[in-house]
Amino acid sequence: MKLSFFNESGYNVRQYEKVIRNVFKTIGGKKTFNVIFVDKKEIQRINKEYRNIDKVTDVISFALIDDPEVIQTNELGDIFICVERAKEQALDYGHSEGREFAFLAVHGYLHLCGYDHQSKEEENVMFGIQENILNKAGYVRKK
């Protein structure tokens, strides 16, 4: 797995880069993608421009190729993570910031790989894979 990080948030994100790298070491493989850390204003702009939803969100993924059956490249695309929203959600859910950043990165990665959660069946598959990856990396969800 080859990850490139870009920080456009104004926050120190080194510890989150380390968490995300460690999670993806458990997956392995030759895929490459970018993780871009942004602030609330930027994620809202992206959400409005590309999804026509004018609100802050936690993570948005953009696959280079939208059809999972056609993925013939190792380059998957970009994952945008809102640092402020991730920190808020960690507090809301009562787990570490590391776990939240790991979760958002894995969630975004699975979208890049063609998984979705539009139906209950899709959600069960995607969220099952997501939890397996996070558990293997040591980011077990608190009950």
Which pLDDT score, from 0 to 100, does residue 141 have? 76
pLDDT surpasses 80 at 95: yes
Task: For residue 123, report the phi and psi dihedrals to the nearest 5 degrees.
Answer: -60, -45
Mean pLDDT of 110-124: 92
% of residues, the chain, pLDDT over 90: 81
Between these two residues, 121 and 142, which has the higher pLDDT value?
121
Give per-residue pLDDT as tens, 32-82: 999 999 999 999 999 999 999 999 999 999 998 765 555 566 889 999 999
The whole-model pTM stands at 0.92
Domains and CATH numbers, the chain: 2-136 (3.40.390.30)
How confident is the model at residue 143, as a pLDDT?
Answer: 58
Q: Which residues contact 16 (CB under 8 A, 6 or more apart)?
A: 37, 81, 83, 86, 97, 98, 101
**SS3 call for 34:** strand
